[in-house]
Amino acid sequence: MDHKLNKKAFTLIEVVLAISILATMSVLVAMSLGNALKARTKIQAELQDVSGLRDAIKIMRADLYQAYNHYDFEKEILDAAKKPTPGQPVKPTLPPPWTNPGDPPARENKREDPKTDFVGDTEQVNFVTLNNGRFLANDIQADFVEVGYALKACKNLTKDTSSQCLFRRIQKIVDADVTKGGTESVLLENVKEFKLRYTGESKKDWQKDWKTVGGQDDSVKGIFPDAVEITLAIERELNGKKREYSLQYVVPLHFPNNGTKKPGGGANGTAPTPTGGQ
């Protein structure tokens, strides 16, 4: 009976061989899991970078798409209506019938149009946009706001390092200088490249700068561009390797609201015609 039991038992060589196979399979499984985790981390980092890049472009696109250039056509028509027609005598201005000659002059409310400018070059841009949300009912602000984009050095949130970051500046009160004021927030970290170009109806090619005020090009004073080209790239180091992701997008301004006077317009009371996308 002992002889039969010995035949059913494993030999030492079989046990060592089984343990070796099991150990080899365990090592291979561990290596596969490690590679899978590394691939997952890499894919998640790539998705995070690309998503952040696309989100930054979306925010810029929404601001530029609703860029607001104030041009009061009603005031243009009223001013034109006040001009006398050639050949007709000028009618004297009479006081309102409810006033007496000795009464003080009526107080006139001075009408001031909001100053909306567009100031941009290859590295930064500032303008007025309608892309604005009023979060509080009593929040004092206009229906349009000042917005600016520029690159600045900042400290990264995930790592104790610094990089070039894309900042978005917003000011709720529109003032005389569209390039200053407001609060800034980081829109994107690890930015390697941020370039802007502009084009408009009066230009045949892309321009490196577009300034409706303070610029040397008189042809764009008071005129918003028809489209803005954005080039945005980020660079990130992962597992000792640097990876770069970039996007280029052309954003048309929905309604630049640029007043252009046709031949004969303005002098005879014809209001300017808006140009740009519809």
Residue whose token pair is 């209001």: 271
- DSSP letters for 69-105: ----HHHHHHHHHHSPPTTSPPPPP---TT--TTSPP
In the predicted model, is pLDDT for residue 65 greater than 90?
A: yes
Asked if the structure places residue 271 within a domain, the reply is: yes
Residue 72 counted as domain residue? yes
Distance of CA 151 to the CA centre of its chain: 13
Phi and psi at 88, nearest 5°, equal -105, 140
3-class SS letters over 96-147: CCCCCCCCCCCCCCCCCCCCCCEEECCCEEEEEECCCCCCCCCCCCCCCEEE
Mean predicted lDDT score pLDDT of the chain = 80
Report percent pLDDT > 70 for the chain.
Answer: 74
Kindly state whether residue 177 falls inside one of the protein's structural domains: yes
Could you tell me the two tokens for 73?
């056509």
Whether residue 159 is contained in a domain is answered as yes
What is the rounded distance in angstroms from the CA atom of residue 67 to the CA atom of residue 256?
A: 7
Span of 149-153, 242-246, 255-259 with lowest mean pLDDT: 255-259
Please give the average per-residue pLDDT across 179-205, as a whole number: 92
- 151 φ, ψ (degrees, to nearest 5): -90, 135
Inter-CA distances, 276 with 30, 65, 226, Å: 61, 12, 6
Average pLDDT over residues 51-69: 93
Identify which has the larger pLDDT, 186 or 42. Answer: 186
Domain that holds residue 48: 12-82+112-275
In a domain, 202, yes or no: yes
Look at residue 105 and tell me if it is in a domain.
Answer: no
pLDDT beyond 60 at 265: no
10 Å CB burial of residue 100 (0-12, 13-18, 19+) is exposed
pTM of the prediction? 0.69
Tell me, rounded to whole angstroms, the distance of Cα 45 from its chain centroid: 24
Average pLDDT over residues 84-103: 65
Give all strands (DSSP E) within the chain, no chain letters. 118-120, 124-129, 145-155, 162-171, 183-188, 191-199, 210-211, 227-238, 241-252, 258-260, 273-275
**Mean pLDDT of the region 66-91:** 75
Taking the C-alpha atoms of residue 171 and residue 188, their distance in angstroms, rounded to an integer, is 19
Residue 140 amino acid letter: I
Number of domains in the chain: 1
The secondary structure element, H or E, covering residue 37 is: helix 12-65
What's the first-to-final CA gap in the chain, in angstroms? 99
User: Comparing 48 with 68, which gets the higher pLDDT?
Assistant: 68
C-alpha to C-alpha distance for 60 and 120, rounded to whole angstroms: 13
Closest residue by Cα to residue 248 from 225, 232, 236, 228: 232
